[in-house]
Amino acid sequence: MKKFNIIIYKIIITLLLTTGSLNSAEMTDPIKVDWSFKGITGTFDRASLQRGFQVYKEVCSSCHSMQYLSYRNLGEPGGPEFTEAEVKAIAASFEVTDGPDNQGEMFTRPGRPSDMFVSPHPNKEAAAAANGGAYPPDMSVLVKARKGGANYIYSVLVGYEDPPPGVTLDDGVYYNKYMIGNKIKMPNNLMDGLVEYADGTESTVDQMAKDVTTFLAWAAEPELEERHKTGVKVIIYLVLLTILVYLSMKKIWSRIDSEV
Amino acid sequence: MSEHEYVPKSKAAKWFNDRLPLLTLGAHLTDYPTPKNLNYWWTFGGILTFCLITQIVTGIVLAMHYVAHADLAFGSVEHIMRNVNYGWLIRYIHSNGASMFFLAVYIHIFRSLFYGSYKSPREIIWILGLLIYLLMMAAAFLGYVLPWGQMSFWGATVITNLFSAIPLVGESITTWLWGAYSVDNPTLNRFFSLHYLFPFLILGLVVLHIWALHIPGNNNPVGIDIKKPSKDTVPFHPYITIKDAFALLMFMIIFAGFVFFSPNILGHSDNYIPANPLVTPAHIVPEWYLLPFYAILRSVPDKLGGVILMFSAIFILFVLPWLDTSKVRSAVFRPIYRQFFWILVIDVLMLGYVGAMPAEGIYLVLARVGTIYYFLHFIVVLPVVGLLEKTDPIPMSISEPVITGGAEPSLARKLNEKV
Ligand code: HEM
């Protein structure tokens, strides 16, 4: 039995090794951060999520869309958990295009919690055109869409540097050692004191980068806390059931002169 | 096959059973005499059945919310993840379920290779199994296209382009498969249709596979024919059902570990980027379970050659029962074959590893060596070892000690019958 388990795990580990480790071009390995949402019981830091949303709203949302989220998500369990009133106020601070009305005209109205996040640009092409031809990717699942996940996003945000001697960059291209090829077409948006946190936390670049990354990690996996909680219960249940079934198996097989 | 006729107890049941003998079938499945020495490698058949049912049930629920349209597919998967009750759970079970399915099928196939389960009289079981495996690969490939991420799109492009290597008609076939001049909305639509169909074809083949199995009965670790029912067998229920349940539960614990704690580790992050025909990913890699074949494909500099070799790698398995010249089934009694078996396992794992790497430098060399060895194993090693190897003495029956000399499994049965 033990041998069987060891073999299974060996196979799985080998498989994991084969799917990982694909390093290409020049780029530095991302910084490892000890996120609160890591591990099998990981949860999000509520305050960090709220601050992260503030950074997203005040900084990133002028370029990046987040089209798969709605404002109501901000009040749901496992997320930033803003109060109902706060969610309403946040939604109402955005102008939403609706319609057509009974005259066939489109009109704008203040947002409601059920609305999807308003995108800064009408389409991908417009977003790219406004950014010197580089499309700022939609942020709904960005953390899952990059190898390295949250560590990578955080690293990019704090990874801006002056280019080393000998490296010349075109206009609108910046040096960032965590990007593939060390080049990024997004300017460094974060500087100390950029936002004024409602909870009084000091807004250093590092703090903002951590907060907004936490927020993006939640946005990509809003089910994470529920998944972890359910997972622990499911595994405990399965283990107990396995023990019971094992004992019954031993009992049943003891009727004959054979091993299981 | 059941030795005694089953007679239903109640009159109504008898009435029904005379018209459609479902109860007889049930009785046959319950009493089915099974070798009592089956080890845990034999539990994967049940595990595979569980995997298939899981994929079908979760798949049908996904299909209720999924939209097979190039502009909407990616968003509809996000909708499942965010807005459908327990949608994330259903999708993660389905996507990790595919991986678990392949993990189980690979163990199941290598079990057959080790214990010689493909040999007479089980050739048809083996061939049906390979057909199931082929359809599984097709179904998984088609399914991987559905979320319409970057890897979906480019994986579909690479694989469908393989057909363009066929001389003369290749280009037309590829266009026909696409239903367009590149992988596009019509492609996605037909892939969804086929992805829905294939699992049910698999289900049909599974029924045939098990039917064919119930003619000769299970092989066993000793690899000898046994008399059924006898003191070497146990009724399927409760002995095998409880053991299968135990193994399945352990399998489910590993499965749940993936689903709840690292649901995306077996996938590729690029598939969370919506498909974009204008941007080619740096490395296009298939899912892990197709990597050994991908390595074989890329080990040949010529496209047509690579395609032929890749398909041969699967089709050679169909003639395996006739390539293996040894009369002894189980590798337990084949000291030389046993070593080659493990070399083959390592070879396939290595091919999987290099399949994930860029096809250059040392990886290309390893891919070529691995490919050549793979074919050598089946074409040269198996026939030759079977003829030259001196096998160990084989026991006459499962419960009896080894008698010396008998290297003929059929002999063991003949002696048995007289007992
Ligand atoms: C042999 C059994 C099956 C296998 C191996 C399989 C495999 C897969 C795979 C690998 C994916 C991509 C997962 C992802 O990355 O999201 C997928 C997606 C999907 N499958 Fe299946 N599948 C099977 C059966 C079914 C059945 C029976 C149905 C429906 C009746 C179904 C419906 C779907 C749908 C709607 C999707 C797209 C949603 C998604 O991507 O999560 N599948 N399948």
Q: With helix as H, strand as E and coil as C, how does B365-389 read?
A: HHHHHHHHHHHHHHHHHHHHHHHHC
Whether residues A241 and B266 touch (CB distance < 8 A) is answered with: no
Whether residues A22 and B242 touch (CB distance < 8 A) is answered with: no
Best residue among B62, B135, B148, B270 to mutate for probing ligand 1, ranked by most atoms within 8 Å of CB: B62
Per-residue pLDDT of chain B (419 residues; tens, 9 = 90+): 444 678 999 999 999 999 999 999 999 999 999 999 999 999 999 999 999 999 999 999 999 999 999 999 999 999 999 999 999 999 999 999 999 999 999 999 999 999 999 999 999 999 999 999 999 999 999 999 999 999 999 999 999 999 999 999 999 999 999 999 999 999 999 999 999 999 999 999 999 999 999 999 999 999 999 988 888 999 999 999 999 999 999 999 999 999 999 999 999 999 999 999 999 999 999 999 999 999 999 999 999 999 999 999 999 999 999 999 999 999 999 999 999 999 999 999 999 999 999 999 999 999 999 999 999 999 999 999 999 999 999 988 887 655 544 445 554 544 444 33
Q: Are residues B150 and B248 in the same domain?
A: yes
Rg over CA atoms, chain B: 24
Best residue among B66, B69, B102, B146 to mutate for probing ligand 1, ranked by most atoms within 8 Å of CB: B146
Q: Are residues B165 and B310 in the same domain?
A: no
Q: What's the whole-model pTM score?
A: 0.91
What residues in B contact A17, CB-CB < 8 Å? 353
Residue B289 lies in a domain: no
Q: Are residues B250 and B368 in the same domain?
A: no
Q: Is the pLDDT of residue A135 over 50?
A: yes
**Distance of alpha carbon B348 from alpha carbon B213, whole angstroms:** 27
Window 87-126 of B, Cβ < 8 Å to A: 88-89, 103, 107
Other CB atoms within 10 Å distance of the CB of residue B234: 23
Q: Are residues B234 and B341 in the same domain?
A: no
**Distance of alpha carbon B269 from alpha carbon B250, whole angstroms:** 28
Residue B330 lies in a domain: yes
The token duo for A24 is 């290409």
**Distance of alpha carbon B185 from alpha carbon B172, whole angstroms:** 18
Nearest C-alpha of chain A: how many angstroms from B269?
5
Residues 6+ apart with CB under 8 A from A71: A87, A90, A91, A94, A111, A112, A113, A114, A115, A117
- CATH no. for residue B216? 1.20.810.10
Q: Are residues B332 and B406 in the same domain?
A: no
Residues 6+ apart with CB under 8 A from B301: none
**Distance of alpha carbon A253 from alpha carbon B352, whole angstroms:** 39
**How much is the pLDDT for A259?**
79
3-state secondary structure of B402: strand
Cα A40 to averaged position of ligand 1 atoms, centre (Å): 26
CB environment B107-116: b (16+ within 10 A), e (fewer):
bbbbbbbbbb
A230 membership: H or E segment, kind and range = helix A224-253
For A244, phi then psi, to 5°, come to: -60, -45
For CA atoms B117, B119, B121, B126, the dihedral sign is positive
Residue B293 lies in a domain: no
Residue B292 lies in a domain: no
| Residue B92 belongs to domain spanning | 35-284
Residue A139 binned pLDDT confidence (cut-offs 50, 70, 90) = very high
Residues 6+ apart with CB under 8 A from A15: B103, B266, B288, B352
Whether residues B352 and A40 touch (CB distance < 8 A) is answered with: no
Residues 6+ apart with CB under 8 A from B279: B150
Of ligand 1's listed atoms, the one at least distance from the Cα of B76 is 38
What residues in A contact B253, CB-CB < 8 Å? 235, 238-239, 242
Of ligand 1's listed atoms, the one at least distance from the Cα of B267 is 15
Q: Are residues B148 and B278 in the same domain?
A: yes
User: Tokens 């074959």 sit at which residue?
Assistant: B337
**Distance of alpha carbon B198 from alpha carbon B188, whole angstroms:** 15
Q: Are residues B136 and B262 in the same domain?
A: yes
Q: Are residues B209 and B183 in the same domain?
A: yes
**How much is the pLDDT for A25?**
52
Q: Are residues B384 and B414 in the same domain?
A: no
Interface check for B270 against chain A (CB to CB < 8 A): the answer is yes
**How much is the pLDDT for B374?**
98
Three-point CA angle A97, B76, A102, nearest 5°? 30
The number of domains in chain B is 4
Whether residues B288 and A15 touch (CB distance < 8 A) is answered with: yes
- Around ligand 1, the residues with Cβ closer than 6 Å are B 52, 55-56, 59-60, 62-63, 66, 77, 91, 94-95, 98, 101, 136, 139-140, 143-144, 146-147, 195-196, 199, 202, 267
Say if residues B23 and B14 touch (Cβ distance below 8 Å).
no
A·B CB contacts under 8 A:
122
Of ligand 1's listed atoms, the one at least distance from the Cα of B149 is 15
Residue B290 lies in a domain: no
Q: Are residues B152 and B254 in the same domain?
A: yes
Distances (CA, A) of A209 to A14, A178, B19: 35, 14, 72
B104-113 residue pLDDT tens: 999 999 999 9
CA B348 to chain CA centroid, nearest Å: 15
Q: Where a domain ends, among B242, B257, B284?
A: B284
Interface check for B245 against chain A (CB to CB < 8 A): the answer is yes
Q: Are residues B150 and B270 in the same domain?
A: yes
Strand-pair partners of A110: A95
Nearest C-alpha of chain B: how many angstroms from A193?
32
Nearest C-alpha of chain A: how many angstroms from B165?
28
Residue B307: half-sphere exposure toward Cβ, Cα within 13 Å: 13
Pick from B17, B57, B208: nearest CA to B130: B208
Three-point CA angle B215, B217, B219, nearest 5°? 135
Strand-pair partners of A184: A174
Q: Are residues B217 and B119 in the same domain?
A: yes
Residues 6+ apart with CB under 8 A from B56: B199, B200, B203
3-state secondary structure of B152: helix
User: Tokens 């390295």 sit at which residue?
Assistant: A148
For B123, phi then psi, to 5°, come to: -60, -40
Of ligand 1's listed atoms, the one at least distance from the Cα of B56 is 27
**Distance of alpha carbon B205 from alpha carbon B134, whole angstroms:** 11
Please name the residue of chain A whose CA is at the shortest distance from the CA of residue B41: A4
